[in-house]
Amino acid sequence: MQPVDLTTLRAICAELRAGWLPARLEQVYQRDRATIALALRTLKGRDWLTLSWHPQAARVCIEDPPPRTPDTFTFSDQLRHQLQGLALIAMPLISPWERVIDFQFAARPDDPPLWHLYGEIMGKYSNIILTNANQEIITAAHQVSPEKSSLRPVQTGQLYEPPPALTGDIPSREESQASWQERVSLIPDQLKRQLLKTYRGLGPNLVTAMIERAGLDPQQTTDSLTPNNWTTLFQVWQEWLEILETENFQPGWTENAFTVLGWGMIKPVASTQTLLKEYYQEQLNQQAFKQLSHQLLQKVSNLIKKQQQKKETFQQRLQQSDQAEIYRQQGDLLMAYSYQWEPGLSSMQLPDFETGELITIPLNPEKNAIQNAQSYYKQHQKLKRARQAVEPLLTATDKEINYLQQVEASLKQLTDYQHWGDLQTLKEIQEELIEQGYILRQRERTLNEQAQPINYYTPSGYEVLVGRNNRQNDNLTFRVATDYDLWFHSQEIPGSHVLLRLPAGAIPEEKDLQCAANIAAYYSRARESQQVPIIYTKPKYVYKPKGAKPGMALYDHETVIWGKPQELNSIN
């Protein structure tokens, strides 16, 4: 992304001074974390001046009006409080060779300035700083503590100090070619590098354009230039300085980006404001497109993977339910031949009712034949119920996979950014996923916004939520939990509320219960113990005594299981 260099900034200032001084500041709006917009009104009309300290797209230009969404940023609120209704009376650069604009505000156009809004347009070091008439910093878009920068801290209450001066020589139209050539060629090196090191106010794009306009190669060394080469390059140098002095800028598009000098221009543009607005909107759209495309593809891919894991789990449970009739048959055989049972037997061989072939039936030695038969009947009923519950869930999962694969196919078709419609299409897909509940709507994070619970997944893929404080514990237990979930807590030991999320009809296996118990044990005061007694029950059996403090709850209908906190590392 081509940055706003000193030459471009001087072109911007020339246009703004010609069309927007003096102007009344009617409104301040912060577009995002790195951009504010000032509504300026003159006798000719009203428009929005954008000031951005974006690390790759720092700029100053007239842009489109901001959206009508509420502005919740503190920085813009402070600017609004101090500057709204005042007159913008001047906008000089603090130095002809520094990329810092001093926007000066006063009560009336002829009054001395009451406030200075410094726009430091310096790439990743860009900043917007408000000071009073005594140069005390009132607020800054980006405050810099002494720990981050001992050279130039920027903090409220301090006196404003300009950025450290550049070390190169100051360009001058009065300097002779001999003196200029001697400075640039003092140390034999790449021509581009030497120009950048020797003089202030130059940027890589400008120097490259300057050298190419002279018909030279930016990579060639200074000792390879002929006297004619030096003369041609010096003429281009003088042409650049004349444009700066006369402010005769020619904004337009080049093959790769933009120019305000007319060099290498393939299409002129009416103003530098229009040029920068179109260029940075397009560049930021491309950047947003790449980020959003990556995020959505990654999210949808993960969702498909999770749904496929659920599908495999459901299919396994259906396969297990196919054994239901076998368990019933074994129970029937045990009931029919119970008289053959003897104490201590671990299995019995009994003839099949239809074929007469001997079937080996495992037994629990601690139970008699009738009790073993009852166990097989229970397994039979459990597997039958599981099939009835799982089949609709498997159908729903198949539908979700088909839907998500369709979304994934649409995303993969949007591989390259061509125009703003591509980004808009991505945003529509994102909005669709939000409406379908696959993505949470993003909000600007505030100090009052609650953090999210910790989440894990059991071996069968069920989500486990862990409250991180008492408010979250209450929220999980009394708002998030459904009738299908299971609630876990350390028995008579302080700890987090843990929720095992279960879909309708799901029957967790022992490994899932043990996993949730291990998590509950880990997030309790008994974390260092080898084993911790953990209770679990349905959320409907958990209640809050009247007047109890946050996080306090009573329960009944509980089952006890031993949690092993040291095994948490094996989860996931």
CATH code where residue 204 lies: 1.10.8
Structure tokens at 271: 């103003």
Same domain, 418 and 469: no
Same domain, 258 and 206: yes
Residue that is written with structure tokens 């100053």 in the block: 60
Question: Percentage of the chain with pLDDT > 90?
Answer: 59
Cβ neighbours of residue 478 under 8 Å, at least 6 residues apart? Answer: 542, 544
Nearest to 249 by CA among 59, 3, 8, 19: 8
Same domain, 198 and 308: no
pLDDT band at 451 (very low <50, low <70, confident <90, very high): low
| Alpha carbon distance 485, 476 (integer Å) | 11
3-state secondary structure of 451: coil
Q: How high is the pLDDT of residue 244?
A: 95
Q: Which of 210-214, 295-299, 421-425 has the lowest mean pLDDT?
A: 421-425
Residue that is written with structure tokens 């951009």 in the block: 35
Is the confidence at residue 416, as pLDDT, over 90? no
Structure tokens at 455: 């989440």
Q: How do residues 243-276 score in pLDDT, each as one tens digit?
A: 999 999 999 999 989 999 999 999 999 999 999 9
- Note whether residue 156 is domain-resident: no
| Alpha carbon distance 534, 518 (integer Å) | 9
- Note whether residue 339 is domain-resident: yes
> What does the DSSP 8-state code read for residue 539?
G
Contact yes or no for 535/558 (Cβ under 8 A) = yes
Is the confidence at residue 447, as pLDDT, over 70? no
Same domain, 369 and 436: yes
CA angle 482, 484, 486 (to 5 degrees): 85
Is the confidence at residue 483, as pLDDT, over 90? no
Burial 348-369 (b: 16+ CB within 10 A, else e): bebeeeeeeeeeebebeeeebb
Q: How high is the pLDDT of residue 571?
A: 56
Is the confidence at residue 105, as pLDDT, over 70? yes
Q: How high is the pLDDT of residue 308?
A: 92
Residue that is written with structure tokens 């400075």 in the block: 183
Contact yes or no for 116/100 (Cβ under 8 A) = no
Q: How high is the pLDDT of residue 536?
A: 96
Is the confidence at residue 552, as pLDDT, over 60? yes
| Alpha carbon distance 286, 31 (integer Å) | 18
Q: How do residues 5-38 score in pLDDT, each as one tens digit?
A: 999 999 999 999 999 999 999 999 999 999 999 9
Is the confidence at residue 413, as pLDDT, over 80? no
In the chain, the number of structural domains is: 4
| Alpha carbon distance 444, 152 (integer Å) | 30
Same domain, 305 and 427: yes
Mean pLDDT of 407-427: 84
3-state secondary structure of 46: strand
Q: How do residues 160-203 score in pLDDT, each as one tens digit?
A: 999 988 788 999 999 999 999 999 998 889 999 999 999 999 99
Q: How high is the pLDDT of residue 380?
A: 81
Cα→Cα distances 223→227, 229, 265, 323, Å: 10, 11, 30, 88
Distance of CA 376 to the CA centre of its chain: 53
Same domain, 318 and 428: yes
Domain end residue (candidates: 384, 417, 442): 442
Domain end residue (candidates: 442, 471, 503): 442
Is the confidence at residue 383, as pLDDT, over 90? no
Ramachandran sector of residue 75 (left: φ over 0; alpha: ψ -120 to 50; beta: rest):
alpha
Q: How high is the pLDDT of residue 444?
A: 42
Calculated CA dihedral for residues 285, 290, 294, 297, nearest 10 degrees: 70
CA angle 39, 41, 44 (to 5 degrees): 140
Same domain, 314 and 360: yes
Mean pLDDT of the chain: 89
One-letter amino acid for residue 398 of the chain: D
Q: How do residues 320-332 score in pLDDT, each as one tens digit?
A: 777 777 878 888 8
Same domain, 242 and 305: no
Cβ neighbours of residue 362 under 8 Å, at least 6 residues apart? Answer: 346, 347
Q: How high is the pLDDT of residue 23?
A: 96
pLDDT band at 569 (very low <50, low <70, confident <90, very high): low
Contact yes or no for 518/563 (Cβ under 8 A) = yes
Same domain, 434 and 344: yes
Domain that holds residue 402: 293-442
- Note whether residue 212 is domain-resident: yes
Q: How high is the pLDDT of residue 494?
A: 81
Q: Which of 126-130, 132-136, 472-476, 483-487 has the lowest mean pLDDT?
A: 472-476
Cis peptide before 22 (omega within 30 of 0): yes
Q: Which long-range contacts link 356-364 to residues 24+ away (Cβ below 8 Å)?
A: 359/330, 359/333, 361/330, 361/333, 361/334
| Alpha carbon distance 166, 162 (integer Å) | 11
Question: Percentage of the chain with pLDDT > 70?
Answer: 97
| Alpha carbon distance 169, 187 (integer Å) | 15
Residue 130 sits in a domain whose CATH number is 2.30.310.10
Nearest to 103 by CA among 149, 147, 49, 157: 49
Residue 312 sits in a domain whose CATH number is 1.10.287
- Note whether residue 120 is domain-resident: yes
- Note whether residue 459 is domain-resident: yes
Q: How high is the pLDDT of residue 450?
A: 47
Q: How high is the pLDDT of residue 389?
A: 80
One-letter amino acid for residue 511 of the chain: K
> What does the DSSP 8-state code read for residue 437?
T
Q: How high is the pLDDT of residue 384?
A: 77
pLDDT, greater one: 122 or 412: 122
Q: How do residues 392-401 score in pLDDT, each as one tens digit?
A: 888 888 888 8
Same domain, 425 and 560: no
Mean pLDDT of 95-115: 94
Strands 59-63 and 45-52 turn out to be: antiparallel
Cβ neighbours of residue 142 under 8 Å, at least 6 residues apart? Answer: 53, 127, 154
- Note whether residue 285 is domain-resident: no
Is the confidence at residue 525, as pLDDT, over 90? no
3-state secondary structure of 89: strand
Q: Which of 116-130, 405-419, 448-462 has the lowest mean pLDDT?
A: 448-462
Contact yes or no for 248/272 (Cβ under 8 A) = no
How far apart, in Å, do the first and last CA atoms of the chain sit?
A: 41
Q: How do residues 38-94 score in pLDDT, each as one tens digit?
A: 999 999 899 999 999 999 999 999 999 998 888 889 999 999 999 999 999 999 999
Mind giving me the DSSP string for 125-165?
G-EEEEEETT-BEEEESS-B-TTT-SS--B-TTSBP-PPPP
- Note whether residue 278 is domain-resident: no
- Note whether residue 151 is domain-resident: no
Same domain, 221 and 310: no
Contact yes or no for 551/497 (Cβ under 8 A) = yes
Is the confidence at residue 218, as pLDDT, over 70? yes
Q: How high is the pLDDT of residue 304?
A: 92
Same domain, 265 and 309: no
